[in-house]
A and B are shown apart, each in its own frame.
Chain A
Amino acid sequence: MKIGYRQAFDKTFTITAGLSVFLMVMALVIILGPMLSRGSKAVFFRGTVEFRKMQLAIFNHGSSDQVQAETARVEKAREPVYELLENFQIGIDVELLTDKTREIYRELGQQLRQMDVDRETYAAIRAKAKDIRDTLSDILESTDKDYVNQGIEVILKLSDDPDFKNTVAEQFFPLARMYGENVKNIDLTQRDQYIAALEEVKDALRKLFGPLPGESTPPMPKDRYGATRWDTAQQSLHQLLWAQAWVETKPGESLEKISVRRDDPQKGQFAGTSLEPLFSLVENNLDDMLQPEFTIYWRYFLDDWVNSHYFGGVGSEIIGTLLLTLLSMMFAVPLGVISAAYLVECADENMVVKIIRTCVNTLAGVPSIVFGLFGLAFFVLFLFPRLNMPSKPCILSAALTLSILVLPVIIRASEEAIKSVPQTYKEASLSLGAGRFRTFVTVTLPAALPGILTGIILSLGRAAGETAPILFTGAVAMGPQPKSLFDGVKTLSYSSLDIATGDRLAMMAPHKQYGVIMTLIILVLCLNILAIIIRWRVAKKLRGY
């Protein structure tokens, strides 16, 4: 009976322990999994021709011949879309048409003056043209379809007028005819809505295919290219196809927002218009228009970013993070190990040492922002000016601040490691006539190395990932790579903060936001794995098998 109980307890213990380990792993997977999977979209995705164009233009990667051939192909595929748009635009954009009529009229005057006609004919033609212009202007402004049709009929009757032969005025008639055509399927009372909707469509098209033909090159790199990725292309396509509309689903109830396809035969914005075919055309031929290909953008880890992370990668951030981490370790490790050695080996167990140890332990728990402010106040504002160094946040002050942050961790781990070296090792060395320092360097330190490395591993991850301490002491969101110790440095941690909170443009590229986080996680993981391998090898060497 008793043995039965004991076995049951043993089993419960095993199960509980296993379960807690499992839970921990699950928590890790649940936290890291989504971040990594989303971040991986920054590297693995279906890149469109726009992506390859961008890579060629901005980073000079890829073959220019291939890209040119591709561009020619997609431009051919896109042509009908732009044609449809153009035609429809003429019919709908009243202001444009009004301007055009005015212009025709003005040009007619100039033409007539140059043609040296006599005053009377001039006046007569001008008067007739003025009539046409006014009628056109009237019908363009009118929302009454009958009135418009009558007006157009009136104008078109004049098209055979010999007076207008070979003059600019002839241009009035195709314009009027086309407008008539367009107007047939349009509810004129809602023309303003058409214009607004057309803007949306043009916007979506710009996002899909880059600037429309005839538009000047936009100043921002991000606007110069269409959808570089298939997933953003899908979003833009959705924006192109679907309009948001407020409708009354049941009488008397509040309006509801629903999505309606723009070319929906009943409710669609552009139902029956000459623009209607555009939507299905784009939808069905998007593949041809963008030529998506599966892309592994491994240069993400090398490229510098462009346009606030909208394009490009995190190469400069990775280098900055590594630089900063290594620099801070260069300060923290020797200092930490020496302090730990002093605390263990040299100092007697007196009050002062106890106070120092308590302080170190307390420091380990201080919020990192406090270190950041301390770094700003002490290094940047107090120390550097007194040493005749530039008093501005820089990689040196950031590294020093980080090293103070990780110092307690290193001291504690090293202290434990040094303490755990068997006394007999030291005795052996001392009995052979080695001094204390010699003993420490040649016997204690190597034996304590795995433990010290554990501390370094912990602090490596911390130094690479901390944002608050470098917030005021040297991290910058943009700028060139640091060339000296007195330049700011771009880091992954600060960058992920910046593009997650401060940067409007980066908001539009969520894969890039997650990409930075993913890179940070991978980097810390790699650093840890590297350190663990070193640790393992050291331990193996010490163990001897």
Chain B
Amino acid sequence: MEDNQPQEKPVTQMETQSPVMEKILPAIHIKMDNQKQVTSGTTQDKATCNRCGIISSKEFSFFYGNTCGVKNISMDIYPCMVTAIIGPSGCGKSTFLRSINRMNDLIPHTRAKGRLEVNGINVYDKRTNLVNLRQQVGMVFQKPNPFAKSIFDNVAYGPRLQGIRKKSDLESLVEQCLKDAAIWDEVKDNLNKSALALSGGQQQRLCIARALATRPKLLLMDEPCSALDPLATTRIEDLIEQLKKFYTIVIVTHNMQQAARVSEWTAFFCLGELIEYDKTTRLFTKPGKKQTEDYITGRFG
């Protein structure tokens, strides 16, 4: 808990002063960088602390009608870390991820059980302010889903929602986010082109840029690289590497190497259940469960 204190602070500041923060963003960037460096130095061992996750789920289950998407998930996801979720197709990775910012609400006849907390707020509480929650928790979806608007408007959508109207601010912010998402060079000449006219991979990177533009504390990425070429994948991985200095990232991936490369922690899901959750190095070298071993060595099924 003590470890967590200095860690939480800058994040809270960032949240409360959000509009101001946005206007002096580059400065904050650097400032936050420093802070993060300081804090990351002091929290060397926070991974060992099991009770200080920014996301913590306890016995969390999610149902589509009567079928079970995920059941009895208990895990903590630690701040400023990359957590990878791996598992065979249909095992509930997306379901769990989408539960974190309550994206599954749109699907009728769904139901959640257990407890899921983000930053200490119970997500599935009736009184939870969904707008606040979702501004803190950005998401990149499995399928690219840009709006049928121009590239600029796509990225500026989130900041505009937060009340940033000034053209120059928006422009610098959009540029920054597009650069972060490694797509700036491809689109910088026609920011007014419709986003739907981009290729699938470009669209995906645009969606990443769009998610970054709201400056979330937490970034959920559902197979962000599934539609990308190796080069773009590398750039996204680099981006993740950079971002984890001040974002918490949860990434779903089918690519074992990727999980090993970018993540500090890895969770293995199978048939809606959390089989194993451990430090990536440990999970990939000395898996605790037979199922995990089978899966990562490719003997699954």
Q: A residues within 8 A CB of B162?
A: 433
Cα-based distance from A450 to B161 in the complex (angstroms): 25
* A325-349 Cβ-contact flags toward B at 8 Å (1 or 0): 0000000000000000000000011
Residue A504 is within 8 A (CB to CB) of chain B in the complex: no
Cβ–Cβ contact B196 & A544, under 8 A: yes
Cα-based distance from A369 to B21 in the complex (angstroms): 63
Contacts A427-B106, A545-B197; is A433 near B135 (CB within 8 Å)? yes
Residue B195 is within 8 A (CB to CB) of chain A in the complex: yes
Residue A114 is within 8 A (CB to CB) of chain B in the complex: no
Q: A residues within 8 A CB of B148?
A: 425, 446-447, 541-544
Contacts A348-B108, A430-B103; is A545 near B194 (CB within 8 Å)? yes
Q: A residues within 8 A CB of B210?
A: 428, 432
Q: B residues within 8 A CB of A438?
A: 161
- Closest Cβ of chain A to B9, distance in Å, is 22
Cα-based distance from A385 to B157 in the complex (angstroms): 49
Question: Quick one: which of B146, B147, B196, B214 contacts A433, CB cutoff 8 A?
Answer: B214
Residue B287 is within 8 A (CB to CB) of chain A in the complex: no
Residue B134 is within 8 A (CB to CB) of chain A in the complex: yes
Residue B139 is within 8 A (CB to CB) of chain A in the complex: yes
Interface residues of A in 204-239 (CB under 8 A from B): none
Question: Quick one: which of A429, A435, A545 contacts B147, CB cutoff 8 A?
Answer: A429
Cβ–Cβ contact A432 & B157, under 8 A: yes
- Closest Cβ of chain B to A203, distance in Å, is 70
Cβ–Cβ contact A428 & B141, under 8 A: yes
Cα-based distance from A435 to B135 in the complex (angstroms): 11
Cβ–Cβ contact B131 & A543, under 8 A: no
Instruction: Tally chain A residues at the interface, Cβ within 8 Å.
Output: 26
Q: A residues within 8 A CB of B194?
A: 541-545
- Closest Cβ of chain A to B227, distance in Å, is 14
Residue A431 is within 8 A (CB to CB) of chain B in the complex: yes
B interface, how many residues as a size bin? 20 to 34
Question: Quick one: which of A348, A425, A432, A447 contacts B161, CB cutoff 8 A?
Answer: A432
Q: Which of B108, B131, B195 has its CB near the most chain A CB atoms (within 10 A)? A: B131
Cα-based distance from A98 to B172 in the complex (angstroms): 108
Q: B residues within 8 A CB of A542?
A: 148, 194, 196
Cα-based distance from A545 to B108 in the complex (angstroms): 35
Residue A422 is within 8 A (CB to CB) of chain B in the complex: yes
Q: A residues within 8 A CB of B195?
A: 544
Cβ–Cβ contact B197 & A431, under 8 A: no
Interface residues of B in 135-181 (CB under 8 A from A): 135, 137-139, 141, 143, 145-149, 157-158, 161-162
Q: Which of A425, A433, A446 has its CB near the most chain B CB atoms (within 10 A)? A: A433
Residue A443 is within 8 A (CB to CB) of chain B in the complex: yes
- Closest Cβ of chain A to B14, distance in Å, is 14
CB closest chain-A residue, reference B132: A433
Cα-based distance from A226 to B149 in the complex (angstroms): 64
Cα-based distance from A543 to B198 in the complex (angstroms): 11
Residue A254 is within 8 A (CB to CB) of chain B in the complex: no
Cα-based distance from A544 to B214 in the complex (angstroms): 24
Cβ–Cβ contact B134 & A427, under 8 A: no
- Closest Cβ of chain B to A542, distance in Å, is 4
Cβ–Cβ contact A432 & B211, under 8 A: yes
Cβ–Cβ contact A435 & B141, under 8 A: no
Residue B207 is within 8 A (CB to CB) of chain A in the complex: yes
Cβ–Cβ contact A431 & B106, under 8 A: no
* A419-447 Cβ-contact flags toward B at 8 Å (1 or 0): 00011111111111111001000110011
Cα-based distance from A217 to B62 in the complex (angstroms): 92
CB closest chain-A residue, reference B153: A442
Q: A residues within 8 A CB of B106?
A: 423, 426-427, 430
Cβ–Cβ contact A431 & B196, under 8 A: no
Q: B residues within 8 A CB of A544?
A: 148, 193-197
Cβ–Cβ contact B147 & A425, under 8 A: yes
Contacts A424-B145, A438-B161, A545-B194; is A431 near B103 (CB within 8 Å)? yes
Cβ–Cβ contact B147 & A427, under 8 A: no
Q: B residues within 8 A CB of A432?
A: 134-135, 138, 157-158, 161, 210-211, 214
Cβ–Cβ contact B108 & A424, under 8 A: no
Q: A residues within 8 A CB of B143?
A: 424
Cα-based distance from A541 to B147 in the complex (angstroms): 12
Q: B residues within 8 A CB of A430?
A: 103, 106, 130, 134
Cα-based distance from A428 to B141 in the complex (angstroms): 8
Contacts A349-B108, A422-B145, A423-B106; is A431 near B131 (CB within 8 Å)? no
Q: B residues within 8 A CB of A435?
A: 131
Cβ–Cβ contact B135 & A428, under 8 A: no
- Closest Cβ of chain B to A408, distance in Å, is 25
Residue B101 is within 8 A (CB to CB) of chain A in the complex: yes
Q: B residues within 8 A CB of A429?
A: 147, 157
Cβ–Cβ contact B131 & A433, under 8 A: yes
Question: Quick one: which of B108, B145, B158, B197 contacts A427, CB cutoff 8 A?
Answer: B145
Cα-based distance from A348 to B157 in the complex (angstroms): 28
Q: A residues within 8 A CB of B146?
A: 428
Cα-based distance from A476 to B96 in the complex (angstroms): 65
Cβ–Cβ contact B147 & A431, under 8 A: no
Interface residues of B in 60-108 (CB under 8 A from A): 101, 103, 106, 108
Cβ–Cβ contact B103 & A427, under 8 A: yes
CB closest chain-A residue, reference B103: A427
Cα-based distance from A447 to B145 in the complex (angstroms): 13
Cα-based distance from A438 to B135 in the complex (angstroms): 14
CB closest chain-B residue, reference A434: B161
Cβ–Cβ contact A431 & B193, under 8 A: no
Q: B residues within 8 A CB of A433?
A: 131-132, 134-135, 158, 161-162, 214
CB closest chain-B residue, reference A449: B148
* A483-503 Cβ-contact flags toward B at 8 Å (1 or 0): 000000000000000000000
- Closest Cβ of chain B to A453, distance in Å, is 15
Cβ–Cβ contact A431 & B108, under 8 A: no
- Closest Cβ of chain A to B154, distance in Å, is 9
Q: B residues within 8 A CB of A443?
A: 147
Cα-based distance from A431 to B218 in the complex (angstroms): 12
Nearest 10 Cβ contacts at the A-B interface: A544-B194, A433-B135, A424-B145, A544-B197, A542-B148, A432-B158, A431-B139, A544-B196, A433-B134, A428-B145
Q: List 18 A-B contacts (CB under 8 A).
A: A349-B108, A424-B141, A424-B145, A427-B145, A432-B134, A432-B135, A432-B158, A433-B135, A433-B162, A433-B214, A435-B131, A442-B157, A446-B149, A447-B148, A542-B148, A543-B194, A544-B194, A545-B194
Supplied contacts A432-B214, A443-B147, A544-B195, 9 more A-B pairs, CB within 8 Å: A349-B108, A422-B145, A425-B147, A427-B103, A427-B145, A432-B138, A432-B211, A543-B148, A543-B194
